[in-house]
Amino acid sequence: MQRASRLLVLAASVALAGCAMDSPTEVRSDGEQFPVTATWSATAAPVEPATVAGTLAAEQHLGFRVNADFTITGDVGTTYQWRIFRGDCTINVPQSTTQLNGLVLFATAQSYPDVTVGSSGTASVAPAIAGALDSLTSYSVRVRKSVTSTNWNGTNPIACGDLQRTPAG
């Protein structure tokens, strides 16, 4: 019985070693592997009395990834949070079991690094966000002054802009 177990372990080891030699690790550094399927853009206008504004340019890639570039103009030294939410700027309630057409965060809060405005009055961030924006859904980019809580439901932004989609090609 013990000999049969040893032979089974040996056979499995040989099989795994053979697989490892035939399947080297792949590194995908070629941009052609994940082509752009659409671009998205938005201009986040201030919500009075705020004066902060932002612009978003994003590339949707095949392979469940959005490369975002967000630039903000605001008060020097101020840190802002920004997020993409399902729902346009006219919606100001979070989705719930009774309010199904409310705001829903696209991806996770960790996908959106805070941005601190420098001495020039502007700042930019360029994260890669896991996910795919749905062409049949409305989205908005929303901004608020940074707070310690990252759990923001999208309501009462100080700047907001609706995303516009352009198909690739």
> 107: domain CATH number?
2.60.40.200
Q: Place 25 in a pLDDT band, splitting at 50, 70 and 90.
A: very low
Mean pLDDT, residues 17-42 = 66
Q: Is residue 138 a part of any domain in this protein? A: yes
- Domain contains 2: no
Is there a domain that residue 86 lies in? yes
Residue 125 is predicted with a pLDDT of 98
Domain count, the chain: 1
Strand intervals (E) in the chain: 36-46, 53-61, 65-73, 79-86, 104-105, 115-116, 122-125, 128-130, 139-145, 159-162, 164-167
**Whether pLDDT at 148 is above 60:** yes
Report the distance separating Cα 82 and Cα 141, nearest Å. 7
Which range marks the domain in which residue 109 is found?
31-167
Which two structure tokens, joined as six digits, stand for 129? 């966000």
| Residue 128 domain-assigned (yes or no) | yes
Q: How many residues does the chain have?
A: 169
Q: Is 133 contained in some domain?
A: yes
When pLDDT is averaged across residues 117-126 and rounded to a whole number, the result is 98
Does any domain span residue 6?
no
